Chains A and B, each alone.
Chain A
Amino acid sequence: MSPDPFPLGPPAYPLGAPLVRREGREKVTGTARYAAEHTPLDCAYAWPVAATVARGRVTAVDATGALALPGVCAVLTHENAPRLAATGDPALALLQDDRVPHRGWYVALAVADSLEAARAAAAAVHVSYAAEDADVLLTAGHPGLYAPETVNGGYPGTRERGDFDTAFAAAPVTLDATYTVPPLHNHPMEPHAATAHWTGGRLTVHDSSQGSSKVCEDLAALFSLDPGDITVVSEHVGGGFGSKGTPRPHVVLAAMATRHTGRPVKLSLPRREMPAAVGHRAPTVQRVRLGAGGDGVLTALAHEIATHTSTVNEFVEQAAVPARMMYTSPNSRTAHRVVPLDVPTPSWMRAPGEAPGMFALESAVDELAVLLDIDPVELRMRNEPDTEPDSDRAFSSRHLIGCLREGAERFGWRPRDPRPGVRREGDLLLGTGVAAATYPVYVAPSSAEARATADGGFRIRVNATDIGTGARTVLAQIAAAALTVPEDRVRVDIGSSDLPPAMLAGGSMGTASWGWAVHKACMALRARLRDHDGPLPAEGLTAAADTRQEAAEGSPYARHAFGATFAEVQADTVSGEVRVRRMLGVYAAGRILNSRTARSQFIGGMTMGLGMALMEGSRLDPAFGDFAERDLAAYHVPACADVPRIEAHWIDEEDPHLNPMGSKGIGEIGIVGTAAAVANALWHATGIRVRDLPLTVDKILPRLRAAREGAG
Chain B
Amino acid sequence: MEPTRYPADGGTVPATEQRSELVLHLNGRAHTLTVDHRTTVLDLLREQVGLTGAKKGCDHGQCGACTVLVDGRRANSCLLLAVAQDGRRITTVEGLADGERLHPLQEAFLERDAFQCGYCTPGQLCSAAGVLAEAADGFPSHATPATADPAAPVALTAEEIRERMSGNLCRCGAYPRIIEAVADAAAHHGGTARPGGAAEHQEATP
Contact = CB atoms under 8 A, between A and B. Distances in A.
Given A23-B118, A643-B173, A191 B56 contact: yes
Contacts of A167: none
Interface string A1-43: 0000000000000000000110111111111111011111111
Contact of B63 (A25, A34, A189, A607): A189
Nearest to B123: A189
B169 A633 contact: no
Contacts of B59: 270-271
A498 to B, nearest CB: 13
Contact of B56 (A42, A268, A607, A638): A268
B93 A639 contact: no
Interface string B115-141: 111111110010000000000000000
Contacts of B106: 28-29
A214 interface: no
Contacts of B165: 640
Contacts of B201: 647
B119 A188 contact: yes
A33 to B, nearest CB: 6
Contacts of A639: 166-167, 169
Most buried by B among A27, A28, A41, A597: A28
A586 to B, nearest CB: 12
Interface stretch (B38-46, B69-77, B144-152, B186-194): B38-46
A188 B63 CA distance: 11
Given A632-B58, A632-B62, A641-B163, A646 B1 contact: no
Contact of B113 (A32, A187, A596): A596
Most buried by A among B54, B59, B92: B59
Contacts of A279: none
Contact of B175 (A26, A191, A640): A640
A656 to B, nearest CB: 28
Contacts of B172: 189, 239, 468, 600, 604
Nearest to A116: B38
A238 interface: yes
Contacts of A587: none
B168 interface: yes
Nearest to A607: B173
A190 B119 contact: yes
Contacts of A596: 113
A631 interface: yes
B110 A640 contact: no
A241 interface: yes
B78 to A, nearest CB: 10
Nearest to B179: A640
A608 B173 contact: yes
Interface residues of A, number: 74
A597 B113 contact: yes
Given A28-B121, A189-B170, A607 B175 contact: yes
A38 B113 contact: no
Interface of B (DSSP majority class) = loop
Contact of A34 (B60, B119, B179): B119
Contact of B177 (A39, A600, A633): A600
B60 A603 contact: no
B171 interface: yes
A140 B89 CA distance: 58
B4 A38 contact: yes
Contacts of A20: 110-111, 113
A189 B119 contact: yes
Nearest to B161: A640
B94 interface: yes
Interface residues of B, number: 69
Contacts of B174: 600, 603-604
A605 B117 contact: no
Contacts of A28: 93, 102, 106, 109-110, 115, 118, 121, 125
Contact of B57 (A43, A189, A647): A189
Interface in A451-501: 467-470
B57 A29 contact: no
Given A37-B46, A116-B38, A638 B175 contact: yes
B199 to A, nearest CB: 12
Contacts of B178: 640
Interface string A489-527: 000000000000000000000000000000000000000
Interface string A107-119: 0000000111000
A680 interface: no
A195 interface: yes
Contacts of A641: 162-163, 166
Contacts of B94: 29-31
Interface in A593-618: 596-597, 599-601, 603-608
A191 B169 CA distance: 14
A638 B51 CA distance: 28
B60 A604 contact: no
Contacts of A637: 169, 171
A239 B55 contact: no
Contacts of A631: 58, 60, 62
B137 to A, nearest CB: 21
Given A640-B175, A641-B162, A468 B118 contact: yes
B57 A206 contact: no
A308 interface: no
B203 interface: yes
Most buried by A among B63, B168, B179: B63
B36 A116 contact: yes
A20 B59 CA distance: 31
Nearest to B163: A641
A631 B60 CA distance: 9
Interface in A186-243: 187-191, 195, 197, 204, 206, 236-239, 241
A237 B118 CA distance: 8
A645 interface: yes
Contacts of A31: 53, 94
B176 A603 contact: yes
B117 A38 contact: no
Contacts of A470: 116
Contacts of A40: 1-5
A114 B36 contact: yes
B37 to A, nearest CB: 9
A191 B38 contact: no
Given A41-B3, A197-B1, A190 B110 contact: no
A641 B96 CA distance: 25
B200 A599 contact: yes
A600 B113 CA distance: 7
B57 A271 contact: yes
A189 B62 contact: no
A264 interface: yes
25 contacts: A21-B113, A27-B118, A28-B121, A34-B52, A39-B6, A39-B47, A40-B3, A70-B18, A189-B117, A190-B117, A238-B118, A239-B119, A239-B172, A270-B59, A271-B58, A272-B60, A600-B172, A603-B177, A605-B173, A632-B63, A633-B62, A640-B161, A640-B178, A641-B163, A645-B203
By Cβ-Cβ distance, the 3 closest A-B pairs, closest first, are A30-B53, A607-B173, A238-B119
Interface of A: 20-21, 23-34, 36-43, 70, 114-116, 120, 187-191, 195, 197, 204, 206, 236-239, 241, 264, 268, 270-272, 467-470, 596-597, 599-601, 603-608, 631-633, 637-643, 645-647
Given A599-B200, A600-B174, A633-B62, 18 more contacts: A28-B102, A28-B106, A28-B109, A30-B52, A30-B92, A38-B2, A41-B5, A190-B117, A468-B117, A469-B116, A597-B116, A608-B171, A633-B60, A640-B170, A641-B162, A641-B166, A642-B166, A645-B176
